[in-house]
Amino acid sequence: MSGSALLQQRLVARLDERRNQHLLRQRRNVASPQQPDVAIDERQLLSFCSNDYLGLANHPTVVAAFKRGLDEYGAGSGASHLVTGHTTAHAALEEELAAFTGRSRALLFGSGFMANVGVLTTLPGDNDHIFEDKLNHASLLDGGRFCGASFRRYPHLDIARLEASLKAAEGDGLSFVVSDGVFSMDGDLVLLDELLRTAERHNAVVMIDDAHGFGCLGANGGGIVELARAQGVIVDEQRLPVLVGTLGKAFGTAGAFVVGSNDLIETLIQFCRPYIYTTALPAALAVATRESLRIVQRETWRREHLHALVKRFRRGAAQLALPLLDSPTQIQAILLGSPDRALAASRQLEAQGILVTAIRPPTVPPGTARLRITFSAAHTEQQVDQLLDALMSLQLPELAA
């Protein structure tokens, strides 16, 4: 049998296995902008599964800024940042992101996945150690695996287990502690104060990816860091030297950024392969993001409304005795256990005109398939009530277990 035939045989077997386990993923065709009411697969649905948390992906002034950027810079950047792809728009956005986060410098990346893999394949050496929360985003986990350092995962939010691992690694290279700020599938928060104090006791470097916190948490949208500072926790470049954020969620555009000291950013510019050898984001996108960054800071009502919607939903979910995970954020998960139950619930909601994605392994651990509900400042209270009414009508006895 030829190599091509053997490969085809392997591909079919892998796909059949995933299909039989109710784990096969399928893409949906969206024919409208990102907003609560979306046209998808030729149907109009009320969506509760977008990461457009502040409703900026289709905001008129952000769209207008994107158009201005196209007129000024064209559609593509043409090269990497180190050749001719770095424009005045990119430079201005980096300066504004640094000011927004209170850091010395910022560096733009094409995606959050690239940023995390780039940082983790640049900073740790082969003799170093990386310790990551078990529920970290795949980009953090893959970056840890790719870099060549010793890689270990600790149980979710288990600071005691983390400390034991750090203690065992002392005296043998540099240790890195890496965590999400807001965990993308559960919606809960890193125990930042405890994590920082534990890392300090063992001279470890801390890296936080606050993809789902920026824009949504803190009075000014500064994310998990601003939230911690409001509680009296000291968080600066010394205690938290590596901070990552994405632009495709609360900011409503695309791309990502790393913020930190001048030496950190300069090191990434010189040595980070995913940064060096990638075409820069279109400058028009940077122009649009500068506008969304201004809205994030200026229109505080968006965060206030978002948090009010979350509280309204959680009150209603408690009355329905839904198996809701403990989350104070815009990410709310209803734990259903098996993939087939999660799929059935998602399909029943869609039959009622509501789009909520069923999240299944390997995205989440086995036995924890769920409905992942996300809220946006563009949602209304009436739409939240509509979702609760639809959840109440689900024909799934296991929901109340």
Residues with catalytic annotation?
184, 212, 249
CB 143 within 8 A of CB 188: no
CA distance 255 to 341: 34
CA distance 156 to 154: 6
What is the SS3 assignment for 225?
Answer: helix
Which stretch of DSSP H or E encloses residue 253?
none
CA distance 80 to 76: 11
Return the beta strands (E) in 98-191 as ranges: 105-109, 129-133, 150-154, 175-180
DSSP assignment of 79-112, as one string? SBIIIII--HHHHHHHHHHHHHHT-SEEEEES-H
Torsion of CA 228, 55, 36, 381, to 10 degrees: 60
Which residue type occupies 376? S
Which tokens hold the place of 253? 């555009």
CA distance 192 to 206: 10
Which stretch of DSSP H or E encloses residue 216?
none
CA distance 364 to 368: 6
Scanning 272-338, the segments in alpha helix (DSSP H) are 273-276, 283-298, 301-319
187 φψ region: left (φ > 0), alpha (ψ -120 to 50), beta (else): left
Candidates 287, 330, 313; CA nearest to 67 is 287
